[in-house]
Amino acid sequence: MDEAPQLINVLRGEMSLVGPRPLPLAYLPRYTLRQATRLRVRPGLAGLAQSHGRNAVPWDARLEWDARYAEAVSLRCDLMAALGTLGVLLSGHGVTAPGHATMPELARPGTRDDGTGSGAPKPRVSDHDNFVPKVAFPLADSPPAAPTSR
Protein backbone atom coordinates (compact mmCIF):
# COMPACT_ATOMS: atom_id res chain seq x y z
CA MET A 1 0.00 0.00 0.00
CA ASP A 2 1.51 3.28 -1.07
CA GLU A 3 -0.09 5.91 1.15
CA ALA A 4 2.73 8.44 0.75
CA PRO A 5 1.01 10.80 -1.76
CA GLN A 6 -2.12 11.35 0.37
CA LEU A 7 -0.17 11.54 3.62
CA ILE A 8 2.16 14.16 2.20
CA ASN A 9 -0.82 16.21 0.97
CA VAL A 10 -2.54 15.99 4.36
CA LEU A 11 0.64 16.90 6.25
CA ARG A 12 1.21 19.87 3.95
CA GLY A 13 -2.41 20.94 4.35
CA GLU A 14 -3.05 20.41 0.64
CA MET A 15 -6.56 19.24 -0.03
CA SER A 16 -8.89 19.21 -2.97
CA LEU A 17 -12.51 20.32 -2.97
CA VAL A 18 -13.57 16.76 -3.91
CA GLY A 19 -11.94 13.57 -2.63
CA PRO A 20 -12.01 11.18 0.30
CA ARG A 21 -12.02 12.90 3.67
CA PRO A 22 -8.64 12.51 5.40
CA LEU A 23 -8.72 10.16 8.37
CA PRO A 24 -6.39 9.82 11.37
CA LEU A 25 -3.02 8.27 10.54
CA ALA A 26 -3.68 5.64 13.22
CA TYR A 27 -6.29 4.12 10.87
CA LEU A 28 -3.75 3.22 8.16
CA PRO A 29 -2.98 -0.30 9.45
CA ARG A 30 -6.73 -0.97 9.72
CA TYR A 31 -7.44 -0.55 5.98
CA THR A 32 -7.89 -3.57 3.75
CA LEU A 33 -6.01 -3.47 0.45
CA ARG A 34 -9.25 -2.39 -1.25
CA GLN A 35 -9.85 0.42 1.25
CA ALA A 36 -6.24 1.62 0.89
CA THR A 37 -6.96 2.60 -2.73
CA ARG A 38 -8.51 5.77 -1.28
CA LEU A 39 -4.95 6.94 -0.62
CA ARG A 40 -4.19 7.22 -4.36
CA VAL A 41 -6.05 10.52 -4.69
CA ARG A 42 -5.77 13.87 -2.97
CA PRO A 43 -8.04 14.15 0.08
CA GLY A 44 -10.99 16.51 -0.14
CA LEU A 45 -13.89 18.13 1.64
CA ALA A 46 -16.71 16.65 -0.47
CA GLY A 47 -16.83 13.05 -1.60
CA LEU A 48 -18.97 10.04 -2.37
CA ALA A 49 -19.19 8.95 1.28
CA GLN A 50 -20.32 12.43 2.29
CA SER A 51 -22.88 12.57 -0.52
CA HIS A 52 -24.37 9.32 0.75
CA GLY A 53 -24.93 10.42 4.31
CA ARG A 54 -21.72 11.53 6.01
CA ASN A 55 -21.36 9.96 9.46
CA ALA A 56 -24.58 7.91 9.09
CA VAL A 57 -22.75 5.70 6.57
CA PRO A 58 -21.02 2.73 8.27
CA TRP A 59 -17.23 2.49 7.88
CA ASP A 60 -17.20 -0.41 5.43
CA ALA A 61 -19.56 1.39 3.03
CA ARG A 62 -17.82 4.73 3.55
CA LEU A 63 -14.39 3.32 2.70
CA GLU A 64 -15.83 1.47 -0.30
CA TRP A 65 -17.29 4.75 -1.66
CA ASP A 66 -13.82 6.30 -1.25
CA ALA A 67 -12.20 3.38 -3.11
CA ARG A 68 -14.72 3.69 -5.94
CA TYR A 69 -14.00 7.40 -6.20
CA ALA A 70 -10.24 6.74 -6.40
CA GLU A 71 -10.85 4.32 -9.27
CA ALA A 72 -13.21 6.54 -11.25
CA VAL A 73 -12.01 10.12 -10.86
CA SER A 74 -13.67 12.29 -13.47
CA LEU A 75 -15.20 15.74 -13.78
CA ARG A 76 -18.69 14.21 -13.79
CA CYS A 77 -17.95 12.22 -10.64
CA ASP A 78 -16.51 15.31 -8.94
CA LEU A 79 -19.56 17.41 -9.83
CA MET A 80 -22.02 14.78 -8.62
CA ALA A 81 -20.08 14.23 -5.38
CA ALA A 82 -19.91 17.98 -4.72
CA LEU A 83 -23.62 18.51 -5.43
CA GLY A 84 -24.61 15.44 -3.42
CA THR A 85 -22.49 16.56 -0.49
CA LEU A 86 -24.03 20.02 -0.63
CA GLY A 87 -27.51 18.46 -0.58
CA VAL A 88 -26.68 16.29 2.44
CA LEU A 89 -25.05 19.23 4.20
CA LEU A 90 -28.08 21.47 3.68
CA SER A 91 -30.50 18.73 4.78
CA GLY A 92 -28.53 18.11 7.98
CA HIS A 93 -28.61 14.35 7.37
CA GLY A 94 -25.79 12.22 8.74
CA VAL A 95 -24.23 14.67 11.19
CA THR A 96 -23.97 11.86 13.71
CA ALA A 97 -23.79 8.09 13.54
CA PRO A 98 -26.51 6.37 15.58
CA GLY A 99 -25.43 6.32 19.22
CA HIS A 100 -22.33 8.52 18.70
CA ALA A 101 -21.51 12.21 18.88
CA THR A 102 -20.02 12.08 15.38
CA MET A 103 -18.65 8.74 14.11
CA PRO A 104 -17.41 5.64 15.94
CA GLU A 105 -13.74 4.78 15.71
CA LEU A 106 -12.76 2.62 12.74
CA ALA A 107 -12.68 -0.94 14.07
CA ARG A 108 -9.62 -3.13 13.74
CA PRO A 109 -9.83 -5.72 10.95
CA GLY A 110 -11.94 -8.75 11.83
CA THR A 111 -13.99 -7.01 14.53
CA ARG A 112 -17.47 -5.57 14.51
CA ASP A 113 -17.68 -2.00 13.18
CA ASP A 114 -19.95 -0.75 15.95
CA GLY A 115 -17.43 1.44 17.77
CA THR A 116 -17.88 -0.41 21.07
CA GLY A 117 -14.39 -1.86 21.10
CA SER A 118 -15.92 -5.21 22.05
CA GLY A 119 -13.83 -7.07 19.49
CA ALA A 120 -16.87 -9.17 18.59
CA PRO A 121 -16.69 -11.01 15.26
CA LYS A 122 -18.34 -9.26 12.35
CA PRO A 123 -21.96 -10.26 11.76
CA ARG A 124 -22.80 -12.20 8.61
CA VAL A 125 -24.88 -9.34 7.21
CA SER A 126 -22.99 -6.07 7.05
CA ASP A 127 -24.35 -3.03 8.83
CA HIS A 128 -24.88 -1.11 5.60
CA ASP A 129 -27.09 -3.66 3.81
CA ASN A 130 -30.25 -1.88 4.93
CA PHE A 131 -28.93 1.68 4.64
CA VAL A 132 -30.83 3.83 2.15
CA PRO A 133 -29.12 7.16 1.38
CA LYS A 134 -31.24 10.31 1.58
CA VAL A 135 -29.54 11.75 -1.51
CA ALA A 136 -29.30 9.48 -4.53
CA PHE A 137 -26.04 9.39 -6.43
CA PRO A 138 -26.57 8.72 -10.14
CA LEU A 139 -23.57 6.40 -10.55
CA ALA A 140 -24.97 3.83 -8.15
CA ASP A 141 -28.40 2.90 -6.81
CA SER A 142 -27.31 1.49 -3.47
CA PRO A 143 -24.32 1.47 -1.15
CA PRO A 144 -21.46 -0.47 -2.70
CA ALA A 145 -20.79 -4.07 -1.94
CA ALA A 146 -17.29 -5.32 -1.39
CA PRO A 147 -15.75 -6.49 -4.65
CA THR A 148 -15.51 -10.18 -5.42
CA SER A 149 -12.32 -11.97 -6.37
CA ARG A 150 -11.55 -12.01 -10.06
pLDDT by residue for the chain (150 residues), tens only, comes to 455 555 555 556 678 889 998 888 888 899 999 999 999 999 998 999 988 888 888 999 999 999 999 998 999 999 999 999 998 888 887 777 777 777 788 877 665 554 444 444 444 334 444 433 444 444 444 555 555 655
pLDDT at 35: 92
pLDDT at 68: 93
pLDDT at 4: 57
d(CA 146, CA 137): 18
Residue at 54: amino acid letter: R
pLDDT at 93: 79
Tens digits of residue pLDDT in 61-91: 999 999 999 998 999 999 999 999 998 888 8
d(CA 56, CA 130): 12
Say if pTM beats, i.e. exceeds, 0.85: no
25-to-38, 71, 75 alpha-carbon distances in Å: 13, 22, 28
